[in-house]
Amino acid sequence: MLVDSFQRRITYLRLSVTDRCDLRCTYCMPEKMRFLPKAEVLTLEELHRLALAFIARGVRRIRLTGGEPLVRRDMLDLVRALGRQIGEGLDEVTLTTNGTQLAQNAEALREAGVRRVNVSLDTRDPVLFKQLTRRDMLDRVLEGIAAAKHAGLEVKLNTVGLKGRNEDELPDLIEWAHGQGHAITLIEAMPLGEVDEDRFDQFLSLETVRARLEKRWTLTPSGHRTGGPARYFDVAETGGRLGLITPLTQNFCEGCNRVRVTTTGQLYPCLGGGERVDLRAALRDGGGDAALQEAMDRAMAIKPQRHAFAIDAPGQAPAQPRHMSVTGG
């Protein structure tokens, strides 16, 4: 089993298949983002080999991420290969997507073994959507969400709370999601990578949002868990489930069961830390499975107790220079 020095067992892998994305969300990346050359990106076979190695060491859940994972042409082949591991050591394969490519892929994902997807949606206002993503693609995202539901996929929406941008819309967005039969999780903006705006101006405390929502609805803590960092609440008036991911205002590192592998094979044991181990070198330098296993063990030894995220002053440098899309969203 993969166990870190704080006796936390790692059962959840977030595996990035690409750093590329067809949106340019203002809190995620700059407009003129520089993407990786193809030679640095893991091949499909390398991604599959890594996934199998993690499953052999006790990982039960794999979430495929990006960038936008569905912009990678051969990604569905990887999903099908991993889908064959469900029940053979793996409990589930899931996907985080921005939804733009979901309409044409939802049925194939279902057939490959995926049962639930997380779709990023920060607003249903087309004007604000275009401002936040720098792309006019809201209709495609909503079409993708509807297609996923029609295909029988469980859909959870992920919404980054942004001060002065979508914060007044959050109750309506929650109500709409629940009315569609979808759970929704609110996420605090995270200080990863330089962007074109000051994150101090973007950051919205979800503890503040929760207090506002509790004046409107009855929120009851839920025992529901998905393996991730969200705390869940049942909303009596809407009949739906609300998640909160609060890396800044309410740290959740004590129970961390996750590691992330970038599309270049860098294993980051902590999203907010600079510690990393090069799995690509282990794959490509001829060391075989022993080198890969040794690299995974090194990652367990350097996994920190907690991250050090902070957004408490204007002009503050990001906690890490790499962007979320590079690490794996």
Query: 222 a known binding residue?
Result: no
Q: How many residues would you count in the chain?
A: 329
Alpha-carbon dihedral 262, 245, 228, 321, rounded to 10 degrees: 20
Strand order in the sheet with 154-161: 219-221, 231-235, 240-245, 183-188, 154-161, 116-120, 92-97, 61-65, 12-16, 258-261, 266-268, 277-278
Query: 65 a known binding residue?
Result: no
Read off the DSSP letter of residue 190.
Answer: -
Query: 75 a known binding residue?
Result: no
Query: 27 a known binding residue?
Result: yes
Would residue 151 be called left, alpha or beta, if left means φ above 0 and alpha means ψ between -120 and 50 degrees? alpha
Query: 144 a known binding residue?
Result: no
Query: 199 a known binding residue?
Result: no
Query: 256 a known binding residue?
Result: yes
CA distances from 169 to 1, 51, 124, 128 (A): 44, 39, 9, 11
Query: 71 a known binding residue?
Result: no
Three-class DSSP category at 243: strand
Nearest to 238 by CA among 161, 160, 168, 183: 183
CA distances from 301 to 10, 54, 159, 268 (A): 12, 16, 33, 12
Query: 96 a known binding residue?
Result: yes
Alpha-carbon dihedral 320, 324, 326, 329, rounded to 10 degrees: 140
Cis peptide before 67 (omega within 30 of 0): yes
Query: 232 a known binding residue?
Result: no
Query: 137 a known binding residue?
Result: no
Query: 274 a known binding residue?
Result: no
Query: 21 a known binding residue?
Result: yes
Query: 193 a known binding residue?
Result: no
Query: 225 a known binding residue?
Result: no
The secondary structure of 132-183 as a DSSP string is HHSS--HHHHHHHHHHHHHTT-EEEEEEEEBTTTTGGGHHHHHHHHHHTT-E
Query: 116 a known binding residue?
Result: no
Query: 259 a known binding residue?
Result: yes
Q: Which residues are annotated as a binding site?
A: 14, 21, 25, 27-28, 63, 67, 96, 120, 156, 190, 253, 256, 258-260, 270
Annotated binding site for GTP: 14, 63, 96, 156, 258-260
Please state the residue numbers annotated as binding site for [4Fe-4S] cluster.
Answer: 21, 25, 28, 253, 256, 270
Known binding residues for S-adenosyl-L-methionine: 27, 67, 120, 190
